Amino acid sequence: MLPDIAFFDAIAEAAAAETLPRFRMSVSVDNKLASGFDPVTEADQEAERAIRRLIADRYPEHGILGEEHGDIGLDRDYVWVIDPIDGTRAFISGLPVWGTLVGLYHKGRAVMGMMDQPFTGERFIAQPGSAIVRRNGKKSLLRTRTGVTLEQATMMTTSPSIFPEALEPSYKRVENCVQLARYGCDCYAYAMVAAGHIDLVVEAGLKAYDVGGLIPLIEQAGGVMTTWSGDRPEHGGSIVAAGSPELHEAALEMLNRTD
């Protein structure tokens, strides 16, 4: 049986108790890479610990895939996928476009998901058959924007620097087609697709924890999210999320052109 939304609310509150007091404060930042910059803070680590404690207490038979503290039972029917702060660079820069991502996979497929942004008071939650957002306590249904062509679309990506040399020309083809391209926002961009404010997100180099909480939001709001090859996105990789099947198809065609 799937958890109820109240359990996701409990997860969000537990994580916010660790992230919000540290946001826009002086926090130490560690770099997870020997070359380059992949930041992690105490807020990331403690928020994931808080989430894991709740899951282990309520659903000890479930597996956990987490960004900061390793994996448990990935061969189990139910696996929780956790990114305690998606957008750590935004977090340490004081920008409120980070979020806590939690997804639940059943036999490898994302079936429930949440993106919580406690500073702005927004909580996006999806379960089979519905996707909602609560903004400071007021609930609304999520619906993607439809009837938008590629040439009319607003597109986002975290940064053009995320695309390796081999993929950059494909991304640039799409960027050159759309009406408006913007950078930044990490998980918040996907939430805006689900809410119908933007139309397309194109990215590369993502991990399972970057997408696990977002797939149900996009799908239950009426959108489509896959890899660039059109496969299921649960394992991450190069990802495209679109507000409609038609826009998704147009973006895939442009990404995979060989001329």
pLDDT given at position 24 = 93
Same domain, 24 and 123: yes
Residues 153/200, Cβ–Cβ less than 8 Å: yes
* CA atoms in the 13 A half-sphere facing the CB of 139: 7
- Could you tell me the CA-to-CA distances from 201 to 44, 58, 157, 224 in Å, in that order? 24, 34, 6, 11
Residue 33 pLDDT > 70 = no
16 with 136, same domain: the answer is yes
Q: Give me the CATH number covering residue 19.
A: 3.30.540.10
**110 pLDDT above the threshold of 90:** yes
What does the pLDDT read at residue 37?
A: 53
| pLDDT tens digits, one per residue of 203-213 | 999 999 999 99
Q: What is the mean pLDDT of the chain?
A: 94
pLDDT band at 85 (very low <50, low <70, confident <90, very high): very high
Average pLDDT over residues 9-25: 96
Contacts of 64 (CB under 8 A, 6+ apart): 52, 55, 56, 71, 72, 73, 79, 80, 82
pLDDT for 13 beyond 90: yes
Residues 157 and 137 in one domain: no
CB 206 within 8 A of CB 199: no
Same domain flag for 109 and 196: no
Of 99, 122, 141, the one marking the end of a domain is 141
Domain hosting 47: range is 5-141
Chain segment 241-259, per-residue pLDDT in tens: 999 999 999 999 999 998 7
Region 151-168: mean pLDDT is: 96
**Is pLDDT above 80 for 28?**
no
Residue 116 has pLDDT above 70, yes or no: yes
State the Cα–Cα distance between residues 189 and 214, nearest whole angstrom: 10
Q: How sure is the predictor about 36, in pLDDT bands with cuts at 50, 70 and 90?
A: low
Question: What band does 31 get if pLDDT is binned at 50, 70 and 90?
Answer: low
The CATH number of whichever domain residue 214 belongs to comes to: 3.40.190.80
Asked if residue 133 and residue 20 are part of one domain, the reply reads: yes
Q: How many domains does the chain have?
A: 2
Give the pLDDT of residue 26: 75
Cα separation, 33 vs 101, whole angstroms = 22
| Residue 34 binned pLDDT confidence (cut-offs 50, 70, 90) | low
- Domain closes at, from 124, 141, 158: 141
- Is residue 100 located within the same domain as residue 172? no
pLDDT of 115 above 90: yes
Is 159 found in the same domain as 84?
A: no
Last residue of a domain, one of 91, 115, 141: 141
Residue 90 and residue 127 in one domain: yes
Mean pLDDT of 80-93: 95
Regarding whether 203 and 132 lie in a shared domain, the answer is: no
**127/13 same-domain check:** yes
pLDDT at 78: 98
Are 132 and 188 contained in the same domain? no
Residues 41 and 124 in one domain: yes
